């Protein structure tokens, strides 16, 4: 269970906006953060990972306080043990695919690296450096690396945005695979309603830093809501 | 070639080696601080480090001589506690050389660190790695061209240093007489042949070092 109640003053291209999120996410949920650019989706992911400090509030994950402004608690990203997949994947160019995955492990195990490599079909790319990989291949390596650390929480920042449609469909399955393997909460940022329907068990819609809707995709994206606020393409 | 000639070249190499070595040790933490941390008077620190790029070497040399004087604080401390007089000694020249070569080491390292995407560091932190592990395993391997540039520029600059050395060290054979000073000295004595030998060696060494830097920077993407 992840309890979030935070406030953060964001600086967007349209000026200052206050990000205010108060929600609870149950275990095993695949939650999608949905909204236009500048709504605060990436900022919320960064706050959960401990990369950005909220102005005030409280974050509790499975009864462990990660952040509490009143009691001056702010656990470092290293201690939170989240798997964070960046928009640019942030694969280390100096390491091979195998070494990128191995680097993430807390206890070194070649067998587990091999398992992840097999699971994400990276056998032929094992000794390649990230610079030689396609977008889809990088995404699979980044997912495998995020899972190698055995994270408590998986955070994916627009993991499919840079890919073409065919690639997106096949990699959505990889994300489902990663979520099932981790058996915990996954939070995913997306702009794409179709993607949200296919992947998410619940969706949280952000607009200018505020949560405007929360629930199952079928409840949130009713025809009326979609017509009023979002385009399907 | 006579012993004096060899000794002068060895001394030049020794000064350049130790200056570069000391600057590698202090350069990395300093460049890290300047690249990633905000602190009061950061702009002043950056300006002070870059001063040798615009300041005449004689200005730094003059202030170093003042500082080394046993009448003043630093010189007095060194004389009383270490029984060392820094003026006109190799150690004195070395300290001045380190200060004067600071920008040649710090600026390429700082540029190298700031050019690495922030997401690499953050990815490493979210994978549970400390700042030190991230620095050693992620940052350093991804800034090798900048490190080579920093080391080569510092070494090459030291080999050619004249103003600071003559102000702080004078012209003492086997102690402070480096090649650049020997060239000046030999020209004054009209020994143009020896001056040419020194000059040719400095020319070739500097050319090799700069060619290495440019060829490495030409193929910066070493892992791709």
- Report the DSSP pairing between strands A210-215 and A56-61: unpaired
Contact with chain B for residue A58, Cβ under 8 A: no
Contact with chain A for residue B125, Cβ under 8 A: yes
All domains in chain A, ordered by first residue: 2-92+151-229 (3.40.50.300)
Position B212 confidence tier, pLDDT thresholds 50, 70, 90: confident
- Tell me the ipTM for this assembly: 0.89
Cα distances (Å, whole numbers) of residue B209 to A194, B57, B86, B202? 57, 23, 30, 11
Answer whether A49 sits within 8 Å of B142, measured CB to CB: no
**Across A11-21, average pLDDT:** 84
* CB distance A172 to A195 below 8 Å: yes
- In this complex, the residue of A50, A78, A131 whose CB is nearest that of residue B221 is A131
- Report the DSSP pairing between strands A56-61 and A202-207: unpaired
Angle between helix A135-148 and A97-104 (nearest 10):
30
Neighbours of A219 (CB within 10 A): 12
Position A191 confidence tier, pLDDT thresholds 50, 70, 90: confident
Name the residue in chain B with its Cα closest to that of A50: B126
pLDDT of residue A232: 41
pLDDT of residue B175: 86
pLDDT of residue A162: 66
Domain boundaries, chain B: 3-217
Answer whether A84 sits within 8 Å of B142, measured CB to CB: no
The CATH number of B3-217 is which of 1.10.40.30, 2.60.130.10, 1.10.3720.10, 3.40.50.360?
1.10.3720.10
In 3D, which of B173, B168, B200, B203 has the Cα closest to residue B185? Answer: B173
Q: What span, in angstroms and rounded, lies between the C-alpha atoms of B102 and B108?
A: 11
Higher-confidence residue of A16 and B48: namely B48
Q: Residue A114, class by beta-carbon neighbours within 10 Å (0-12 exposed, 13-18 middle, 19+ buried)?
A: middle
The whole model's pTM is what?
Answer: 0.85
């Amino acid at each position: 269970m992840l309890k979030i109640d935070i406030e953060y003053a964001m600086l967007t291209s349209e000026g200052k906006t206050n990000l205010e999120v108060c929600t609870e996410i149950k275990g095993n949920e695949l939650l999608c953060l949905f909204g236009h650019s500048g709504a605060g989706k990436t900022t919320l992911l960064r706050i959960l990972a401990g990369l950005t400090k909220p102005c005030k509030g409280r974050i509790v994950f499975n009864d462990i306080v990660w952040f509490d402004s009143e009691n001056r608690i702010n656990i470092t990203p290293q201690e939170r043990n989240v798997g964070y997949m960046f928009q640019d994947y942030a694969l280390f160019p100096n390491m091979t695919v195998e070494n990128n995955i191995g680097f993430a492990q807390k206890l070194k195990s070649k067998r587990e690296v091999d398992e992840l490599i097999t699971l994400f079909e990276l056998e032929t790319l094992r000794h390649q450096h990230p610079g030689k990989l396609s977008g889809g291949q990088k995404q699979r390596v980044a997912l495998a690396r995020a899972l190698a650390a055995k994270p408590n929480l998986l955070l994916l920042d627009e993991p499919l945005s840079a890919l073409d449609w065919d690639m997106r469909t096949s990699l959505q399955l990889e994300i489902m695979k990663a979520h099932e393997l981790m058996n915990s909460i996954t939070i995913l940022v997306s702009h794409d309603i179709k993607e949200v329907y296919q992947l998410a068990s619940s969706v949280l819609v952000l607009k200018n830093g505020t949560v405007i809707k929360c629930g199952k995709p079928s409840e949130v994206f009713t025809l009326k809501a979609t017509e009023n606020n979002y385009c399907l393409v | 070639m006579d012993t004096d000639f060899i000794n002068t070249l060895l001394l030049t190499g020794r000064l350049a080696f130790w200056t570069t070595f000391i600057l590698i040790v202090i350069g990395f933490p300093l460049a890290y601080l300047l690249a990633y941390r905000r602190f009061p008077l950061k702009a002043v620190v950056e300006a002070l480090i870059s001063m040798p790029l615009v300041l005449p070497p004689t200005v730094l040399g003059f202030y170093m001589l003042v500082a080394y004087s046993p009448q003043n604080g630093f010189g007095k401390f060194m004389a009383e506690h270490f029984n060392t007089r820094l003026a006109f000694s190799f150690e004195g020249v070395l300290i001045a050389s380190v200060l004067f070569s600071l920008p040649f080491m710090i600026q390429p390292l700082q540029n190298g660190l700031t050019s690495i995407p922030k997401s690499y560091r953050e990815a490493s932190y979210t994978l549970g790695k400390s700042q030190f592990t991230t620095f050693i395993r992620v940052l350093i391997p991804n800034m090798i061209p900048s490190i080579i540039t920093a080391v080569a520029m510092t070494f090459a600059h030291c080999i050619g240093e004249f103003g600071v050395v003559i102000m702080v060290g004078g012209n003492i054979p086997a102690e402070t007489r480096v090649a650049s000073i020997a060239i000046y000295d030999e020209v004054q004595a009209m020994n143009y042949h020896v001056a040419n030998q020194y000059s040719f060696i400095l020319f070739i060494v500097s050319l090799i070092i700069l060619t290495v830097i440019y060829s490495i920077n030409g193929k910066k993407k070493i892992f791709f």
